Chain A
Amino acid sequence: MRSIFKNQAASTWRRCGQCLFFALFLFLFIKTDYSGSDELKWVVNLLFRIDPFLALATVAAGKVLIALMLPAMITLVLTFIFGRFFCGWVCPLGSLIDASRFFLREKKDRLEGRGRRIKYYLLFFLLTSSLFGLPLAGFVDPFSLLVRGLTFAVYPAFDVATNSFFTLTYQHGPVWLNAMTEPVYALLRASVLPFATKVYALSVFSLFLLLLVLLTSFFERRFFCRRICPLGALLALCSRYSRLSLSGGGPDCGKCRKCLSVCRMGAIDEERTISSSECTLCLDCLTQCPRSRIHYRGSWRIAEEKIDLSRRAVMGSLAAGVLVPLVLPTRTLARFADPLLIRPPGALGEKEFLGRCVRCGECMKVCIGNALHASWLEAGFEGMFSPRLIGRIGYCEYNCTLCGQVCPTGAIKRLPLEQKHKTVIGRAFFDKNRCLPYAEGIPCIVCEEHCPTPNKAIKFREVDVVNKKGKTVRLRQPYVIGELCIGCAICENKCPVNGRAAVMVTAEGESRHVGGMG
């Protein structure tokens, strides 16, 4: 078969592809937001649904086939045909790593060694541990790492910085300056800026993890892709069998080692054999080979290439995946869940939920009330980055169902509005020591005003109380009707008491059951 890419433009084509997919990724990222209709118009979670590693991990954890994740099959099939193109052309984290090379020049001495096997062991461990009840796949999945870092830190920081600049020009700049800056600001707001400024739990930590991935390129190009990425490992296992691959060089090339030195994955050995499992088809070798010997072409070999894995380490990672989950039931969590851990409406039972949740942060990105935030250790170590509602920061908008729409795995079910209205995620309680009409004899009931259920869950009684001045005043004291409260936390959010709210939502009474429907 003749070579598909022949000319010098092959690398340029790949770069264009990367830019295109990255632009698509950013577009979908920005579109992960309310857009004037109750239903999202774009398949904003597409990236996660074509990720076969997450698909396998969630299927292993849930022991059910997840229809939402079927597009991941396409990636696998294409990898069997074309090789590991996904890493080199599509993966936005890979593209970002490549782009960050502009700022990071790696040292010349290469790290090489057995390091690149780690990703396979990690893959085996993560898949087995998911199967046995410890779902950690989302921690290291490249897309989850990227989207969390962007959603929690980069995008809000960009928003605040831009707003600060245009606030300065607006409030202190002369008229002629505003004539220029205001249209620019309006354009930015209409296109790339988020509608409202948001804050996020674990924002600095998530950014740190993302930067860590980028900065390791200092040691070696695409360090993360070569050594850590479990998705890359899975695709590498498939691309060994790929129908098409790069080849052409050989020992007869003499002293020329151009291909070796340009390869970002270190996929070419001294014999100039290109490893089809490690090669991500960046095509730099093809472009830069002085004798144009390297071609991308088909072959009918069956896994002629072996991945040099240690049997002992493979057994070790599988065993760890089986054994580590055994320790989970020894935690106090097994008997008493954190009552302040409030899951989004439509979340599956806790165990199923954690099994399916891929920590992608999409629900937190789309949450219109800025209510959903990444957990820290409230749901155990394995629950880190899973979504929880923090009432004091945001509340669950009564008529909004977006979190269930963006969840790529169905960990948060897509709820029809009528069902969402009846889904209890927690219940509100008054702290009478802080609530103004009780503690201070001052009128308030802002909570009652905002309570969204048509038959208000917060009601009030009129009472005569003696206030701090010794005067008898008639005022209204609020109380909660448990059966009507759905735990949206708008009361906690809008409570005008400073600091901790005088009305708080706890997970009590939530309608999801372990193993059941939300």
Chain B
Amino acid sequence: MDRRRFIKDALLWSAGMALAIPRFTILPEALAAEKPQPLLSLAEGEDYHALVSRVLGSLGGMQRFVRTGDRVVVKPNIGWDRRPELGATTHPLIVKALVEQALAAGASRVLVFDRTCNEQRRCYMNSGIEKAVQEINDRRAIVEHIDTRKFIPVDIARGKSLTKWEIYKDALDCECYINVPIAKNHGLARLTLGLKNTMGVLGGNRGYLHRNLGQNLADLATVVRPKLTVIDATRILLRNGPQGGDREDVKKIDTLIASADPVAADAYATTLFALSPDAIDSTTAAYRLGLGEMDLAKIKVMRA
């Protein structure tokens, strides 16, 4: 084969390959007819590493969520170039402890990532999360910068407002997705909690979603479904969120919330800010879609 022929063939071949655009279609799951009472675990304490074990303990431990060989995603909030004490990003020790627990439960790989708002490397570095995961020193624990090739368009069949969006492949293609938001103030959403944290797996122009944020987040929650939500309320940002920047706006309450029900976790966390769950549009919208419980009376809270 001469050079000319080879180039020609290679071009034809690659053009043919480029035509085959992959599509992921996630079908809506049938809703369970009868739901058991959602459990929510609550723990307080200054030793954040131990706090994670305690809060998971009353839910049956990490083994309840992660099985041997599972590919796990731990999705913290790394959105901003802020130090941990400023309460804008998930505490690195909590991320670290969760990754360790998942590894101990037999995960074949634990991936940590977030599509940040500020420059990615600065966020990963200054939030302390990159370093914390690397300190585990286990090849299965991977903290990964966003690889734009991995965003794939996903149909959101149950979406009322959002019907299609680009989602990071690993957030869908895993056996256990653990959502680890930090509870904090947010101008538009009032608070950013679990459902809002899921925006970190989205590609595209995310600002567009703000036009109908509550419903869009609920629609998104029909496809990105965490098996476990752990809300970091060790420090909560009361004002000037979601970015903060002033320690005066941060309140240290050393609290961790965990639940398998993403709506229940958000609903309960709202009360930490002296708000009722229905103050957060996304909680209400997700509840209406049947994604979880927001009635605090119906949630079984266990203090660990």
Contact = CB atoms under 8 A, between A and B. Distances in A.
Interface of A: 34, 36-37, 166-168, 170-173, 195-196, 368-369, 397-400, 436, 442-446, 448-456, 460, 476, 494-496
Interface residues of B, number: 33
B125 interface: yes
B32 interface: no
Contact of A496 (B18, B20, B149, B210): B210
A370 to B, nearest CB: 10
Nearest to B188: A445
Contacts of B246: 454-455
Contacts of A495: 207
B66 interface: no
Closest 3 CB pairs of A and B: A496-B207, A454-B245, A454-B246
B119 A397 contact: yes
Contact of A36 (B20, B118, B121, B244): B121
Contacts of A168: 14, 17-18
20 contacts: A36-B121, A36-B125, A37-B125, A168-B14, A168-B17, A195-B121, A368-B121, A369-B119, A400-B122, A443-B188, A444-B210, A445-B187, A448-B187, A450-B243, A452-B243, A452-B245, A455-B240, A455-B246, A495-B207, A496-B207
Contacts of A476: 187-188
Given A446-B207, A452-B245, A397 B186 contact: no
Interface in B1-41: 14, 17-18, 20, 22
B242 interface: yes
Nearest to A460: B187
Given A170-B149, A195-B121, A443 B207 contact: no
B117 to A, nearest CB: 6
Contacts of B240: 454-456
Given A195-B145, A444-B207, A448-B187, 17 more contacts: A34-B119, A36-B121, A37-B125, A166-B149, A170-B149, A171-B149, A172-B20, A397-B118, A397-B119, A399-B81, A400-B119, A400-B122, A443-B212, A444-B211, A449-B187, A450-B243, A452-B243
B187 A453 contact: no
B294 interface: no
B137 interface: no
Contacts of A445: 187-188, 210
B239 to A, nearest CB: 9
Contacts of B119: 34, 368-369, 397, 400
Nearest to A456: B240
B145 to A, nearest CB: 8
Contacts of B108: none
Given A399-B81, A449-B187, A368 B122 contact: yes
A167 B188 contact: no
Given A369-B119, A460-B187, A496-B210, A399 B126 contact: yes
Prevailing SS type, chain A contact patch? loop
B77 to A, nearest CB: 13
B122 A444 contact: no
B213 interface: yes
A438 to B, nearest CB: 14
B87 to A, nearest CB: 12
Nearest to B121: A34
A494 B80 CA distance: 14
Nearest to A399: B81
Contacts of A195: 120-121, 145
Nearest to A459: B187
Contacts of B121: 34, 36, 195, 368
Nearest to B19: A172
Interface in B239-291: 240, 242-246, 249
Contact of B81 (A397, A442, A449, A455): A397
Nearest to A173: B17
A34 B244 CA distance: 23
Interface in B175-221: 186-188, 205, 207-208, 210-213
Contact of B22 (A171, A173, A443): A171
A168 B205 CA distance: 23
A442 B212 CA distance: 8
B145, B188, B212, B246 interface centre (most CB from chain A within 10 Å): B188
B14, B126, B187, B212 interface centre (most CB from chain A within 10 Å): B187
Contacts of A449: 117, 186-188, 242-243
A428 to B, nearest CB: 16
Contacts of B243: 449-452
